[in-house]
Amino acid sequence: MLNKLRAVADRYEELCARSEQPDFYADPQQAAKFLREKNDLEPIVTAWHAYNTALADMEDAQALMSDPEMKELCQETYQQAREDKDRLYRELQILLLPKDPNDEKSVIMEIRGGVGGEESALFAHSLFRMYSMYAAQKGWKIELMNYSETELGGIKEADFVINGRGAWSRLKYESGVHRVQRVPETESGGRVHTSTATVAVLPEMETVDVQINPADIEMQVYRASGAGGQHVNKTSSAVRLIHRPSGIVVACQEERSQVQNREKCMRMLASKLYEIEQERIESEHSGLRRSQVGTGMRNERIRTYNFPQGRVTDHRIGLTLYKIDSIMNGAIDEIIDGLATADQAERLKNTNS
């Protein structure tokens, strides 16, 4: 680890020196690449310098402990420096973990009603609202791709992009089955029902990032429609793409232009094909199932929202919070922070084993 840190520090100094050269911005694209690398390395170098400072403080304090008048003060200094050193060592271990190359990307999210009929569709709408409010808090933008409502205002399916730097780094943990326990509005007896909705999260990939053969795609056009089949436009602007080799079907009807809807479909298709390829690579190279809290499988129950008890439980890390109202209003950072920390711990364990 120390050798890695020295190499990082050397590379950082090299980039700093290069950025001060008069011709640094002669090639803007290359300059931007170097600046991104420099910014990525800076937190590691800062923590590394702080770690070395703590080590030096420990040595200085230990050297002065033989002086009776200085002993008590030096013991306090030594203890504080040792705590700083241990904390910074753990921080450096995490900073040196391989970075997810997609962390800065926007995401495509898909929400589907699951078990529970109309109540599952209403819960799917609640999840869409929760993620929309979370995105608004982060300053991210929602871009609808496909949105199908039920008569009572639930969601059969919703496909949308959350555009924002770092969206994948936060929302990649949300894939899976979300379960709700509450009394439906249509329930006259006051009985608690259990329903589910599924959430899938994909890093948004550009079509240039994934090889797609145009000959493999079948395009269908149809009229966009709203709840109950009511037509919301009179032209066949909605687009459905079928990728024959994989069987993937994607659709978009939110734009008035067929060209725009097709472009959105291609982005969604690229992201789905990327996911399939990543799963294949993981399976071939590691033979290991995805980590407990990573980008989880879609059929795995990950979280329960219990309205009568006012609690939300994430089953992957055993975290229970009694603040369901604020969570449904988009305050999910506490859950995501817990998942990110557990994910880091799992990767550290695998690195050290």
Residue 241 DSSP SS3:
strand
DSSP 121: H
Query: Which range, of 16-25, 139-148, 278-287, averages the lowest pLDDT?
Result: 278-287
**Confidence (pLDDT) at 289:** 42
What residue type is 136 in one-letter code? A
Pair (75, 130) in one structural domain: no
Torsion over CA: 128, 131, 136, 137 (sign): positive
Length of the chain: 353
Same domain as 197, residue 52:
no
Of the candidate ranges 163-167, 196-200, 273-277, 339-343, the one whose mean pLDDT is the lowest: 273-277
Average the pLDDT over each of 63-77, 130-144, 228-242 and give the range with the smallest value: 228-242
Shared domain for 26 and 153, answered yes or no, is no
Using the 3D structure, point to which of 62, 95, 128 is the last residue of a domain: 95
The total number of structural domains that make up the chain:
2
The residue among 41 and 226 whose pLDDT is bigger is 41
Say whether both 251 and 287 belong to one domain. yes
Q: Is residue 352 part of a domain?
A: no
Q: Residue 287: pLDDT above 50?
A: no
In this prediction, residue 296 carries a pLDDT of 47
The answer, yes or no, to whether residue 286 has pLDDT greater than 80, is no
pLDDT tens digits, one per residue of 136-187: 999 999 999 889 999 888 999 999 999 999 999 999 999 999 999 999 876 7
Together in a domain, 201 and 151: yes
Q: Is the pLDDT of residue 69 over 50?
A: yes
- Residue 287, classed as helix, strand or coil, is coil
Q: Are residues 88 and 235 in the same domain?
A: no
pLDDT of residue 292: 46
Are both 17 and 112 inside the same structural domain? no
| Residue 293, domain member (yes or no) | yes
Which of 61, 95, 129 marks a domain boundary?
95
Range of the domain at 172: 107-346
Q: Is the pLDDT of residue 285 over 60?
A: no
Q: Of 140, 114, 141, 108, nearest to 126 (Cα)? A: 114
The label of the residue with tokens 């050397």 reads: 10
Q: pLDDT by residue (tens digit) across 110-142?
A: 999 998 889 999 999 999 999 999 999 999 999
275: CATH:
3.30.70.1660
Provide the pLDDT confidence category of residue 299 given band limits of 50, 70 and 90.
low
CATH number at residue 35: 1.20.58
pLDDT exceeds 70 at position 4: yes
Same domain, 90 and 112: no
Q: Which of 73, 95, 117 is the C-terminal boundary of a domain?
A: 95
d(CA 3, CA 271): 37
Structural domain contains residue 35: yes
- The one-letter amino acid code at 140 reads W
Query: What pTM did the predictor assign?
Result: 0.75
The answer to whether position 102 is within a domain reads: no
Q: How confident is the model at residue 249 (pLDDT cuts 50, 70, 90)?
A: very high
6 in a domain, yes or no?
Answer: yes
Assess whether 42 and 118 both reside in one domain.
no
- Asked if the structure places residue 351 within a domain, the reply is no
The contacts of residue 242 (CB under 8 Å, 6+ apart) are 217, 218, 219, 220, 248, 249
Kindly state whether residues 70 and 209 are assigned to the same domain. no
Residue 295 covered by a domain = yes
Give yes or no: residues 119 and 57 share one domain: no
- Give yes or no: residues 272 and 307 share one domain: yes
Q: Which range, of 167-181, 286-300, 302-316, 322-336, averages the lowest pLDDT?
A: 286-300
pLDDT tens sequence across 135-144: 999 999 999 9
In a domain, residue 323? The reply is yes
Q: In which band, very low, low, confident or very high, does the pLDDT at 68 lie, cut at 50, 70 and 90?
A: confident
